[in-house]
Chain A
Amino acid sequence: MVFSSLIFIFFFLPLSLFAYFLVPSMKGKNFIVLIFSLLFYAWGEPIWIILLLFSSIVNYFMALYISSHRGNFQSKIALIVSIAINIGLLMTFKYADFFVDNTNWLFGTAFTKPGITLPLGISFYTFLSLSYTLDVHRGHIQVQKSFLNFMVYVTMFPHLVAGPIVRYSEIQDTINHRKTSWSMVWSGVNRFCLGLFKKVVIANTASILVEKYLDMQFTNLSSPEAWFGITLFSIQIYFDFSGYSDMAIGLGRILGFNFLENFRHPYAATSVGDFYKRWHMSLGRFFRDYVYIPLGGNRKFQLRNIMIVWLLTGFWHGASWNFVLWGAFFGCCMILEKILQRVLNITPRFFKHSYTLILIIFSRAIFYYVDFEKLKIFIKTLFHSEFPVSINLKNDLLGYLFYFIVVVLLCIPWNEIFNAEHKVHKRATKFYFYFAPVINILFLLLGTVLLIDDTYNPFIYFRF
């Protein structure tokens, strides 16, 4: 099931919240969350729920074992076994075809591809479980003894299928005892409606144009249209994923959980490094804490560490070489930025912002075209094309003029420009407080109308 679907908005959500708030005890509430989360997952993947349960049970018992033998050799063995099982599941269910393909290509063998369909959300819940056992081993968190509560942590429907990758430390206090306040629900509802607007109105509209420029007219694109198309994809992927994260964070708040932010106006970044401090922050935090720092961080072999982290980040996104290339591209950009740090420090902000945006938008092409041949042609088109600019570009720029204005407004980090003490910020907050119900209902109705015409609109990050 997806958040941006009529069945979720009008049936699953009211029903689950009604049941949740009807039950008075915390144990009961957690039980309700678990039941609805399993239903949410089973809606799209009735078979793979077995995998989800298996992964959860293994991690629950491994963490208990690690905790009870902390500091001992057995604890390390248990951790290694836990990591091996988690990574093994990911490798089997996400990368098996990729490995068989490459083995066949490298050694001329003819192994048959297993052809496993990617289980929904496996990249997210595997990393979430991994972070839990690693944190238990490091003693950063108390092990969760209640199986019900542990299952709630892993399978909670707000973050189950597309993140954010919630760390247990974020919710360990609230999973056992939490108080639902009106202000939390209020803030959660506001956030959910904003996410719905971002996904259904902004991202889905962009997807119509993306398909037109990057697929339908692929063979006769002019260079400006190619840039326009890939910029639109950058808009789509950002609003799609951040919209999902907003909805997840909003739903979490309604249920009484506080998830950390996953996006912070990434297109306002002034360097590639800055961009990834603002984009999919929960994944960034995972790689920082469990790969970058253990490898030595910025203390030793920093450039190597950066490259390893980025290659892994790329590979996490999908079983395809283009994602590895994408990771390598960003690894190189980050390394170059480190080398040119002194020059960049004295470079005007506008220039830094511009080059960052160009690199980010360019990198989206590597993300979009899984087929290397197509990618090669497209990159060539970005810089040179024999085709003249068609009338489509002008028509779409004007035909979606109000839409683009809204997109730009939403990309600007207003809260960074006007901090909490600024009078503009205060006035805007006051205005939003009184008008939020109207805005929310408007977003809900607008989302509903546009969803009617859009029966299946999965989130881009579902395929990762």
Chain B
Amino acid sequence: MFQKISIFLQAVVLVGISTVFFFTEKKQISDSENRTLAQWPALNDTTYFSGAYFRGISDYVNDQFPERDWLLQLSNSIRYKMGIHFEDEIRIVAVEGGMEQQTQTTDSLEVAADDFKELYKNGLIIINGAAYTPNTGSPAISPVFAKLLNDYATALGPGVTVYSCIAPLSSAYIPAKQYAHLNGKNEQTLNAIRNNLQPGVRFADVLSELNAHRNEKLFFGTDHHWTANGAYHAYVAFCKSAGIQPVDRSEMNYENRGAFLGSLYDLTRDVSIKEHPDTLELYKPRVITESVYYSERGFKNAKKCTLFNGASGYACFISGDQPLEKITTGVKNGRKACVIKNSMGNAFAVYLVHHYEEIWVVDFRYSKHNLMTLLRDNGINDLIFGMGMYGAMSRGTIQMMRNLGFKKAVTPSAETTPIEGQSITPADKPIEPQAP
């Protein structure tokens, strides 16, 4: 009798959970994982015979499982509690597959596949609840990036000044002795860029500026970006290279938006990261600005946006990663800049509003606009490559920046494929200009 009752009880638990599944509201997007959730797959010859239909159903059950978000957190807590942990321990966590699934699904998410795939393929180093990439730059690729800037400078002529304003990776600031050499490797990469720039192309020494403030919070611990503070020091480095006076933060409005958990927590669900949330502190320029952003092609359907939106994380800067954004400021000095950037450039670009009447922000990963036309038609004075180092250490991303100005634009899917050994000579003819 005991066996019968216990089998019955276990069957009730099993069937009970299955039944709850049918009555749970199905979702489109997972906020906590920043990705689209699997929906019931379509049945046709192709999906059936390839097995995609059945795999789709399995994915659907996994993604739409009741209380999935809570169970994900619980799953990480269970794995974390399989042993003993110390506050100052250094751990490397694998992020297998996780980053592959990250896609740009919402406006609040500005995680690009190329950054994630490469930056975290070797896992993450977690110290005191803060995550760092163990990767560094690549001095071997730096000349390729430098040549890109040189080619732009040559093509644009003396009327436009080209700037290299590249941020190091968070690996430069891992607070552990055994990783001290990673700082040196970041430095080698940036120095190799500087050494290969032709005269006239200016190099902002972001690393030295950040190093001078290494005891401050320069990078988020739960997110793969830098803080507004880190971006400010990069802005100071840029001003030094441009020979202009940086605006002190005392002349900006300080705002503290409180605690948040960023992309690296989403990626790892690591318990120690969760226990050490970041604080979003902003330094908002007092300059009046108006911003609009455009889709990846053309200038129709401009959407209004603001320098800082209401997001509680890194997505608050210039409305996240938009293919092309135009910021018009109240500074009437006739100077115009164009920033070529990946997501690290978002926090940096906001400080430039102090010095330019108009700033065009181009995300090289998504924009299919013709850069040369944009620069010439709008009378740009400064072309600033302001981004995280990752954009400058992969042949694939460098080629994408080249394509913006010298070649027909590529599709976003190409951005993840490094283009090894491809010629870096500018293509013959830019594509036809598009009217703004």
- Is there a chain A Cβ closer than 8 Å to B413's Cβ? no
Q: Does A46 contact B (CB under 8 A)?
A: yes
**A205, B10: Cβ atoms under 8 Å?**
no
Task: State which of A9, A189, A208, A452 has its C-beta within 8 Å of the C-beta of B7.
Answer: A189
Tell me, yes or no, whether A42 is within 8 Å of chain B by CB.
yes
Query: In the complex, what residues of B have CB within 8 A of residue A13's CB?
Result: 14
Query: Which A residues, 1 to 16, have Cβ-Cβ distances below 8 Å to chain B?
Result: 1, 5-7, 9-11, 13-14
Query: Interface size for chain B: under 10, 10 to 19, 20 to 34, or 35 or more residues?
Result: 35 or more
Answer whether residue B17 sits at the interface, using C-beta atoms and an 8 A cutoff. Answer: yes
The number of chain A residues with a CB under 8 A from chain B is 54
**Contact yes or no, A446 B48, CB < 8 A:** no
Residue of A with least CB distance to B95: A216
- A452 in complex: contacting residue of B21, B49, B68, B122, CB < 8 Å: B68
**Looking across the interface, which residue of chain A has its beta carbon closest to that of B13?**
A441
Question: Could you tell me if A395 and B122 are in contact, using CB atoms closer than 8 angstroms?
Answer: no
Flag if A449 contacts B91 (CB, 8 Å). no
Chain B residues within 8 Å of A396, by CB: 83, 91
Cα A13 to Cα B11 with chains together (Å): 11
> With an 8 A cutoff between CB atoms, is A461 at the interface?
no
Summed over the interface, the residue pairs from A and B with CB atoms below 8 Å come to a total of 140
Chain A residues whose CB sits within 8 angstroms of the CB of B82 once the complex forms: 205, 399-403
Min CB distance A428 to B, Å, is 17
Alpha-carbon distance between A395 and B88 when the two chains are bound, in angstroms: 10
How near does chain A come to B390, taking the closest CB pair, in angstroms?
19
Partner pick for B91 among A6, A10, A392, A437, CB 8 A cutoff = A392
A444 engages B14 (CB within 8 Å):
yes
Are B122 and A440 closer than 8 Å at their CB atoms? no
Q: Is A93 in contact with chain B by the CB < 8 A criterion?
A: no
Interface string of B67-99 (1 = CB under 8 A from A): 010011011101101111110011111101000
Alpha-carbon gap, A434 to B78, bound state (A):
26
8 Å CB interface, B107-163 against A: 122-123
Asked if B54 and A43 sit within 8 Å, CB to CB, the answer is yes
Tell me if A437 and B21 are in contact (CB < 8 A): no
Q: Does any Cβ of A come within 8 Å of B269's Cβ? A: yes
Q: Which of A6, A186, A391, A433 meets B178, CB within 8 Å?
A: A391
Does B421 lie at the interface of the complex (its beta carbon under 8 Å from any beta carbon of A)?
Answer: no
A296 at the interface (CB under 8 A from B): no
* B83-A401 in contact (CB<8A): yes
As a 0/1 sequence over residues 1 to 19 of chain B, the CB contacts with chain A under 8 angstroms (1 = contact) are 0111011011101110110
- Residue B293 at the chain A interface, CB threshold 8 Å: no
Q: Which B residue's beta carbon lies closest to that of A451?
A: B62
B58 interfacial by beta-carbon distance below 8 Å = yes
B436 near A: Cβ within 8 Å?
no
Using a CB–CB cutoff of 8 Å, the interface residues on chain A facing chain B are 1, 5-7, 9-11, 13-14, 42-47, 182-183, 185-186, 189, 205, 208, 211-212, 216-217, 390-392, 395-404, 433-434, 436-437, 440-441, 444, 446, 448-453, 455
Further 7 A-B residue pairs, CB within 8 A, beyond A10-B18, A399-B85: A7-B61, A43-B51, A44-B55, A47-B49, A186-B7, A208-B79, A403-B82
Cross-chain pairs A/B with CB under 8 angstroms, 15 sampled: A1-B58, A11-B18, A46-B48, A183-B3, A211-B94, A391-B176, A395-B89, A399-B82, A399-B83, A401-B84, A448-B71, A451-B62, A452-B75, A453-B72, A453-B76
Q: Which 3 A-B pairs have the closest CB atoms?
A: A437-B6, A401-B83, A403-B82
